[in-house]
A = this chain, B = another copy of it.
Amino acid sequence: MLICRTINEIREFVRQVRERGRTIGLVPTMGYFHEGHLSLMREAKKACAAAVVSIFVNPLQFGPQEDFHQYPRDFERDRKMAEETGVDAIFYPSVEEMYPAGFSTHVEVGGLTECLCGLSRPGHFRGVATVVAKLLNIVLPDKAFFGWKDAQQALVIRRMVRDLNMPVEIVTVPVVREPDGLAMSSRNVYLDPRERTAARVLFRSLQIAERAAAGGERDVARLQKAVRQEIASEPLVQIEYVEIRALPGLEPISRLQGPALLALAVRIGKTRLIDNTVLNPEGDQLAFDHV
């Protein structure tokens, strides 16, 4: 497995792979891997001849009060975990390599970014879209893989790729959960034992909505209320938002009709966590696959 610290190095690797007529899959990450990342890498290896994983804690997508400096990093651990999945190369650039002096271009995706995490984290998706555009232009993969844990992010990237005619297929991979249902996240390490236990309420609350929707509930306000009530039963958890919106455009809705995203963000102590599920009243799996 190759480790590339510069754009020129990873481009040379990509050139050699292309020369042999082989396909490339890219998994963009911020590192500190968990099973969610590994499932993306395995998908990339399954779908493409060569898999590249990028590890870059992207300062552009963190707000000034956010956890850029605290974000967990452990390259040695990541390297070993990536190697075990069969990944062919890690692209691990410095901030200066990605944003040299004079850098001043940004990619803005409208609409989709003006709700949910886009409201609570102004500039976040601009930073995400910009770094992903750069990574896609550097690696020029056939496919790029994103976890559905960050559903809004995946939708934003799909929108950007479609709007800017970027020559890549975006593949989304389901949320990977701990045995007790907590969605895997690099930020879970911030939780102390009591907070970790309290965090179980997120998945429980999503399941309540799933069951209600499966039972015929179509009223979005009632579904959202049920989720909020369940979360409110945990005093350690503060709700940032709980919302149900249409897929794939994230328009507000008052009734479930087509596939919809139930997304939530909370704070547990100082830790911000997100989770989501797709509510699909007509069981129209095809529509979700096309999200």
A278 at interface, CB cutoff 8 A = no
Q: Which residues of B contact A106 (CB under 8 A)?
A: 107-108, 110
A137 touches B164 (CB 8 A): yes
Chain B residues, Cβ within 8 Å of A221: none
Contacting pair B159 A105 (CB below 8 A): yes
A102 CB–B CB distance under 8 Å: yes
Given A137-B165, A137-B167, A165-B137, answer yes or no on A109-B102 (Cβ-Cβ < 8 Å).
Answer: no
A107 to B129, CA, bound (A): 10
Q: Cβ of A87: which chain B residues have Cβ within 8 Å of it?
A: none
Q: Which of A108, A112, A134, A138 has the most CB of B within 10 A?
A: A108
Select A104's contact among B103, B111, B134, B138, beta carbons within 8 Å: B111
A166 within 8 A of B: yes
- List 15 A-B pairs, Cβ < 8 Å: A102-B159, A104-B112, A105-B109, A105-B110, A105-B129, A105-B159, A105-B160, A105-B163, A105-B164, A106-B108, A106-B110, A107-B108, A133-B164, A137-B166, A138-B165
Q: A102-B159, A103-B163 are in contact. List 6 more A-B contacts (CB 8 A).
A: A102-B111, A105-B108, A105-B110, A105-B163, A134-B163, A137-B167
List the 8 shortest-distance A-B pairs measured between CB atoms, nearest first: A105-B163, A104-B110, A137-B165, A104-B111, A138-B165, A105-B109, A106-B108, A105-B160
Chain A: residues with CB nearer than 8 A to chain B? 7, 102-112, 129-130, 133-134, 137-138, 140, 159-160, 163-167, 249
